Structure 1
Amino acid sequence: MTQGTFQSKQAIAQLVELDRIRVWSVVITIFGDAVVDRGGTVASTTLAALIGEMGIKPEAFRVAMSRLTKDGWVVRSRRGRLSFYQLSAKGVSVFGPATKRIYAPSPGSADGWRLVVLQNAADDAPEDAVALGGRTYLTKRRDHVADGLVVSGSFVTVPDWTKDRIGTPEVARGYTELRAVLQGLSVAHATPMEAAALRVLIVHQWRRLVLRHADLPLSFFPDEWQGEACRALVRQLLADLAPAANAWFDTEIP
């Protein structure tokens, strides 16, 4: 094993160990990152090879594909002896919109957000609501709010207690851990297959964090927030990996 390959295997292991890997979720990342833009269909053997490069056992992969098929996230078809998969309409509708946030070059704007204060506890807050405690939340929904005080416009100040609710300690910790791993990754000499696995894992670990909080400017998050530092590292690493990773994907997902 060459030094470059050893470093790449080590980088893959670090990303896998960063958070408990859910194989079905990694498969969804593969679809969103590499398959959808290449026709949308991929062979089971290709998925299995890429998952195997991450050190995930074949049994875990088979269980994950069975679950995704049974739950209606992917559709399976056959061509001769080979099985192929594609995202179902349900999978596209749920995971498609998330790609804008995952690959965005910068965080969202504060424009369009409204502050809502209710008379009673928010039992039926909208899906995008960012809870600020009890009867108060942020939302981009324009629906009428019964008995609600609704304020829109510029946010003059964002106090620390609000930042801590928007950027929770758990997610903040996740970003700190991810940044530490990303800073130490060596990807320069990865083989095409290793580069493909590294790309998927980087996107996956970034995706699991960036989709867990509101898309707001950095000023809305705690002072030690590492989310934007992670975004910069993710974008640089994906650019570095692109030639080799794309070579593998373009060959394996024709």
Structure 2
Amino acid sequence: MEKSDVVGSSLIEHLINYGELKVWSVLVTILGDLAPRAGMYIPGPALAALTGRIGIKPQALRVAIHRLRKEGWIEGTKIGRVSHYALSEMGRLETERVEPEVYGSVAPERKQPYLLVIPPRSTDKMPPNAIKLSRDLYLSDHIPPSIDGLLTISGENRQWPDWVQEAVLPPQLAEQHEALTKLLSADHEDPADLEPFDRIALRILILHNWRRLVLRRSPLAPLFWDKEWIGTQCQYHVTRWLTALSRDDAQKAIHGAAVSH
């Protein structure tokens, strides 16, 4: 990401440097969080001010807007002389699809995992979420009904070896969960003491980095969720911060900023 000079909250700076921020993806996070429903828009000046606060230069913002409009993710309209932006219907549907995982405040209910052993030379397809552990061995959260000769082994209350857990949450992704958890659990400034736009920027950066992790990990991750699992710990701290930096306050502030511009 092309960054401008950023001065201010140390946590904002740490989150900007936590991982690569793709501008188009950040825009989807912003619009999905602050204008999530049909008929809701973010004025261009407010969008520019917010993205500038998290280090995105105006040219990079314009390129990302052009790309997302071309690909059908966002739409724009003019009210007077001011451009306003929102997710398209497709963009809203894609965002709503992952909302339960991204915004969930508690770990989802754990399903029973199954080891599936397919017959030799089988051409049947596994469920989309199934993880291939070896040539004929898969991990899944349900038993497909249409595979003849399938051997199923219940994984309930099973002590899973590390190599199976790493297939669900690869070490690099686990390290990124750990890094975000460490960052959000450290002592930082009270969000109530921040300027309104810093509060919005902080909310978006936390949400975006969490959303990236959620979208990159396997849907089977909840099979291993408990209080000690790093995904559970990370979700706890993300939820704590997003509660303190409420969505309603952010939406009011972003539209209030547009009026002042």
TM range (shorter): 0.7 to 0.9
1:209 aligns with 2:210: no
* 1: CA distance, partners of 2:250 / 2:76: 25
Please list the CA deviations of residues 134-190 of structure 1 after superposition, one character each: whole Å capped at 9, or x if unmatched: 333344577544346264866230412211211110110101111122123323411
Q: Does 1:248 align with 2:250?
A: no
Tell me the residue number matched to 2:3: none
- The question of whether the paired residues in 2 share the 8 Å contact of 1:203 and 1:234 is answered with yes
Q: Deviations over 1:61-94 (max 9, x none)?
A: 1111111111111112222322222212221222
- Show the 5 A alignment for 1:45-194: 45-111=45-111, 114-119=114-119, 120=121, 124-139=125-140, 144-147=145-148, 149=150, 151=152, 155-160=156-161, 161-184=163-186, 185-186=188-189, 187-194=191-198
Superposed CA RMSD in Å reads 3.2
The amino acid across from 1:178 in the alignment is L
- TM-score, structure 2 as length reference: 0.81
Measure how far apart 1:223 and its partner are: 10
Identity percentage over the alignment? 31
Where do 1:16-35 residues align within 5 Å? 16-35=16-35
Matched, 1:229 2:233: yes
> Are the aligned partners of 2:115 and 2:140 in contact in 1 as well (CA < 8 Å)?
yes
CA distance in 2, matches of 1:159, 1:122: 28
Taking the aligned partners of 1:14 and 1:33, their CA distance within structure 2 comes to: 21
Q: Distance in 2 between matches of 1:152 and 1:47?
A: 51
Name structure 2 gaps, 5 residues minimum: 1-5
Change (3 A) 1:108 1:26: same
Query: Whole-Å Cα distance in 2 between the matches of residues 107 and 216 of structure 1?
Result: 12
Change (3 A) 1:129 1:140: same
Q: TM-score scaled to structure 1, two decimals? A: 0.83
- Which letter does structure 2 place at the counterpart of 1:179? T
